[in-house]
Amino acid sequence: MDKKFVAVIGGSQCSKEEAQLAEEVGRRLAKRGAILVCGGLGGIMKAACKGASSAGGTTIGILPGDNRQAANPYVQIPIVTGLGEARNVIVVKSVQAVIAIGGSYGTLSEISHALKNDIPVIGLNTWSLSRNGRQDKSIIPAQSPTEAVAQALALVTSPKSKE
């Protein structure tokens, strides 16, 4: 349990550019020794798992449905919840930092649950928020996969983070 756990979140469908970002994020997380947690399906999740696997990392997929076969082929440890979108809560609670890449409302729900739980969120081309007219800066922007991974891992060890 001295390993660092980081989630990569984003759409189950994504552009080629987003997939490249996710794959690179996965690869760098693995090289830095972190364990990758995701929702286990396609798009960003698959690309991130592919990257992590290619670098010898461990990949965990928290699946929404009842069927372990629904996991993308790069998921090594499928967790089968049968909970539908409520599994999004588990994805973020199981990690110490979140990297969000693009994404739609499902991703936004994961960002929200993470922020609610004081789990740091790094964003690559993703949502930005304002509340009652004022900008909310809780999502930490990154310009590249390298920067996203560096920030995520730095925040895990920061005394401000939950661990």
Applying CB under 8 A, which residues contact a second copy?
A: 1, 3, 35, 58, 60, 62, 66, 68-69, 71, 73, 75-86, 89-90, 93-94, 102-106, 108-109, 111-113, 115-117, 125-133, 138, 163
Q: How far is the CB of 105 from a second copy (least distance, A)?
A: 4
Sign of CA dihedral 79, 31, 1, 123: negative
- Closer residue to a second copy in complex, CB, 47/91: 91
Q: How far is the CB of 21 from a second copy (least distance, A)?
A: 12
Closest of 47, 34, 43 to residue 7, by C-alpha: 34
- Closer residue to a second copy in complex, CB, 30/71: 71
Q: How far is the CB of 6 from a second copy (least distance, A)?
A: 13
Helix (H, G, I), strand (E, B) or coil at 136: strand
Q: How far is the CB of 132 from a second copy (least distance, A)?
A: 5
Burial environment of residue 134 by CB neighbours within 10 A (0 to 12, 13 to 18, 19 or more):
exposed
Q: How far apart are CA 92 and CA 80, in angstroms?
A: 16
- Closer residue to a second copy in complex, CB, 44/111: 111
Provide the pairing of β-strand 121-124 with 77-80: unpaired
